[in-house]
Chains A and B, each alone.
Chain A
Amino acid sequence: MARFTPANVDRARELMGHYPRARSAMIPMCHLAQEQDGYLTEDAMQHIAELIGCTPAEVYGSASFYEMFKFHPVGKYVIGVCTNISCMLLGGEELLTHCEEKLGIRTGGTTSDGMFTLEEMECLAACTRAPMLQVNYRYFENLTHDQTDVLIDDLRAGKRANDVPPHGTLSRIRQSIPADRRAARDTI
């Protein structure tokens, strides 16, 4: 349970500065908190509310609409298998079942070592490369069951740390606008 670190407070303020109204930074700030802690903690929501100038309930109210925000700890790697139609036609359902067996958990569950959470996903815009899955929102496409096993073993062995950061981290590159390059700040 953590509030933003000082470095992340700076990042949060930078995000709020991108918009005419600070509240527009709500989703990116929730992602920032999730990047810091792996999931969205109550303390972080409280802190976001203080920074934006709203109530913690409003932060939870918005965040709980969106599937990517987790309100309890999840695995270091969240595996999401697409079973929507294009993937279903080419073995997406079987891939999900295979992952359940490989990981020894049901969809929605987390392995006891805290390494993996397994989710069933809707279409992820990779339909021509089915079946596919994401690990922490990184794409792995045209997968066989054997390739999936190798991927999971590699993740467990720490061999994919470079391409797949821990859950919560999305872009490793932030948009940052140098002060002298900004158009005049506009609030409305």
Chain B
Amino acid sequence: MPSSLKMISTRWDDPQGHTLARYRETGGYEALRKAMAQEPDAVIEEVKAANLLGRGGAGFPCGTKWGFLPKDVFPRYLVVNGDESEPGTYKDRLLVEKDPHQLIEGVLIASWAIRAKQAFIYIRGEMAFAHERLAAALNEAYAAGLCGKNIMGSDWSMDVIFHFGAGAYIVGEETALIESLEGNRGMPRLKPPFFPAAKGLYMQPTVVNNVETLANLPWIINNGAAAFTAVGDPKACGTRLFALSGHVNKPGVYEVDFGTTTFRELFESDEFGGGIRHGRSVKAWVPGGASAPWFFEEHLDMALHPAPVGAAGSMLGSGAIIVMDDQTDMVRAAWRLVKFFAKESCGKCSPCREGTNWLEKIYRRILDGHGRMDDIDLLMDVADNISPGLTWPPKQTTICPLGPSAASPLASSVRKFRDEYEAYIRKVA
């Protein structure tokens, strides 16, 4: 059933929701006080018990990630991933613009738990309004003694720094984010050895967490892990923000129970999507951002839960759901995404740098009316060289998952709508 409980979007309709005054009136910074009354390790245990899955894409349990930090190696850093650029993804920007203090409180709780020396909130460069809201909120928080020296009058001191990018999708990948934060070209590092928990920012232990992940922390600390796991499914707890875009009557960013709401409910219920527009039917959708393999009618009754979605060969990724109705040109839709990955390839490894650009050129040739029948298999073959087997989760010949991501829309559309590719090519021949 559609959810009415909101955990992290409670202040979105409040025009003053971004101010410190309103945040405090509505219980803000009480969770920080509560966390600081506990030992850091106790906070980590609470977050582990809440089974909070990362909201940035990979869905890794947050508490477990914090537990990977090597004991007694300091300084440690917290880096907040607000680069939000995966096509279809729209939630972190709202969390920053509409409720920046909730994020700051989450950052402080996480920093207390992992004993971070400093935290950096990296916001995508193109989001000028989010920059203004976050800078203003941090200035308020500093003035109120919530950040910096002697936080809340205690002897704990830590700076929270607003950092911003300059336009590059790949910087959302955590090791590229760290490179970028060090002032370099945003190219991913090889893992191993450069797992951020061991060798992150300035080669020190570092936690990289998504904005939405951290925005959940105040609620969890205030209400306890048990209350959190009571919402949604026990293996996918709490709520999640899904950006529902494309051919639905009511596109929007919706906070829903994680793990129990189905795609059909999200698309059709009046509370959310309100049905496919013009009374049409759905042909395909992207369930978790541009990198995710596509879903079709047979997946409509599946819950928005990582286990069944993963078993069906895709992912919920960054919570980006893009709906395409029965009139959509699937070749063109796939091309848009492949073109995106080709453009955003950082160029560090050749299967991705060369491969994605070949793919884009082959697509262009098909769309421009110069396609050959063998181009369809050629597309699959080049994609297979980037991601052997074309399965999900992907195998990769590359340094990071960007290259294999380009294969997702391609393989999904070729497998399901090969006739549309053939029609494009036949039109000319």
Binding site for B on A (CB under 8 A): 18-21, 23-28, 30-31, 52, 61-63, 65-69, 80, 83-86, 88-90, 121-130, 134, 136-139, 170-178, 180-184, 186, 188
**Chain B residues with CB under 8 A of A18:** 159, 161, 163
Asked whether any CB of chain A lies closer than 8 Å to the CB of B88, the reply is yes
Contact of B149 among A63, A129, A183 (CB under 8 A): A183
Q: A61 CA to B131 CA in the complex, in Å?
A: 25
A182 interface neighbour in B143, B149, B183, B332, Cβ under 8 Å: B149
On whether A20 and B128 interact (CB within 8 A), knowing A65-B186, A83-B336, A123-B87, the answer reads no
In the bound complex, residues from chain B placing their C-beta under 8 Å from that of A23 are: 182-183
A66→B176 CA distance, assembly (Å)? 13
Which residues in B have their C-beta under 8 angstroms from that of A176?
Answer: 139
In the complex, chain A residues whose CB is within 8 Å of the CB of B89: 123, 125, 127
The answer, yes or no, to whether B142 is at the interface (CB within 8 Å) is: yes
CB pair A90–B148 under 8 Å, yes or no, is no
**A139 to B133 alpha-carbon distance, docked (Å):** 14
Set A127, A128, A183: member contacting B158, Cβ < 8 A: A183
Asked whether, in the complex, the Cβ of B132 is within 8 Å of the Cβ of A172, the reply is yes
B336 touches A85 (CB 8 A): yes
Which residue of the partner chain B has the closest CB to A174?
Answer: B135
| Structural contact, A175 and B168, CB atoms closer than 8 A | no
Closest 7 CB pairs of A and B: A26-B183, A66-B166, A67-B167, A171-B131, A23-B183, A183-B157, A127-B245
Q: Bound state CA distance, A27 and B92, in angstroms?
A: 21
Provide the bound-state CA to CA distance between A186 and B243, in Å: 39
Tell me which residues from 178 to 199 in chain B have a Cβ below 8 Å from any Cβ of chain A: 180-187
Interface membership of chain B positions 118-151, coded 1 if the CB is closer than 8 angstroms to chain A and 0 otherwise = 1000001111110110011011001101011100
| A-B contact list, 29 entries, CB within 8 Å | A18-B163, A21-B183, A28-B163, A30-B166, A31-B125, A31-B166, A65-B187, A66-B165, A68-B125, A68-B126, A68-B167, A85-B333, A89-B246, A89-B322, A89-B324, A89-B333, A123-B87, A127-B246, A130-B245, A137-B128, A170-B164, A171-B128, A177-B159, A178-B143, A181-B145, A182-B148, A182-B149, A183-B118, A183-B158
**Given the contacts A23-B183, A66-B166, A86 and B252 also touching, CB distance less than 8 Å:** no
Tell me the count of chain B residues lying within 8 A, CB to CB, of chain A.
74
Q: Is the CB of B128 within 8 A of A136?
A: yes
Contact yes or no, A184 B157, CB < 8 A:
yes
Nearest CB on B from A4, distance (A) = 17
A29-B429 Cα distance, complex, nearest whole Å: 54
**Nearest CB in chain A to that of B158: its residue:** A183
Give Cα distance in the complex from A31 to B185, angstroms: 15
Partner pick for A126 among B90, B167, B204, CB 8 A cutoff: B90
Chain B residues with CB under 8 Å of A184's CB are 157
Interface-lining segment among B337-345, B358-366, B393-401? B337-345
B183 cross-chain contacts in A, Cβ below 8 A: 21, 23-27, 52, 62
A65 to B176, CA, bound (A): 12
Hey, which chain B residues are within 8 Å of A21, CB to CB?
182-183, 202
Instruction: Please give, as numbers and ranges, the residues of chain A lying within 8 Å of B243 by CB-CB distance.
Output: 127-128
Residue of B nearest to A69 (CB): B166
Residue contact B322 to A61, C-beta cutoff 8 Å = no
- B251 interfacial by beta-carbon distance below 8 Å: yes
The answer to whether A181 and B148 have CB atoms under 8 Å apart is yes
Least CB distance, B100 to chain A, in whole angstroms: 11
Contact code string B284-295 (vs A, CB < 8 Å = 1, else 0): 001000100000
| Measured CA separation A12–B168 after assembly (Å) | 23
CB pair A62–B87 under 8 Å, yes or no, is: no
Q: Which chain B residue shows the least CB distance to A22?
A: B183
Give A107 to B241 CA distance when docked, in angstroms. Answer: 34
Q: How far is the CB of A173 from chain B (nearest CB, A)?
A: 4
- In Å, the complex CA distance between A136 and B252 comes to 24
Please name all residues of chain A whose beta carbon is closer than 8 Å to the beta carbon of B125 when the two chains form the complex. 27, 31, 66, 68, 137, 170
Output the nearest chain B residue to A30 by Cβ-Cβ distance: B166
Residue of A nearest to B324 (CB): A89
Q: Is B66 an interface residue (CB 8 A)?
A: no
Complex contact B343–A122 (CB within 8 A)? yes
| CB-CB nearest in chain B for A82 | B87
CA distance A84 to B338 in the complex (A): 10
Q: Closest CB of chain A to B44's CB: distance in Å? A: 22
User: When the two chains form their complex, are residues B85 and A125 in contact, meaning their CB atoms are under 8 A apart?
Assistant: yes
- CB of A125 within 8 A of CB of B135, answer no
Residue of chain B at shortest CB distance from A134: B126
Which of B129, B166, B245 has the most chain A CB within a 10 Å cutoff? B166
Give bound CA distance, A62 to B182, whole Å.
10
From known contacts A170-B131, A181-B148, infer whether A127 and B88 are also in contact, taking CB-CB under 8 Å.
yes
B84-119 residues at the A interface, CB under 8 angstroms: 84-90, 92-93, 117-118
* Beta-carbon contact of A85 and B87 below 8 Å: yes
Q: A25 CA to B166 CA in the complex, in Å?
A: 12
Answer whether residue B328 sits at the interface, using C-beta atoms and an 8 A cutoff: yes
7 more contacts with CB within 8 A, not counting A19-B161, A171-B132, A183-B149, are A24-B183, A30-B166, A61-B185, A85-B286, A89-B246, A127-B246, A184-B157
Q: A171 — nearest CB in chain B belongs to which residue? A: B131
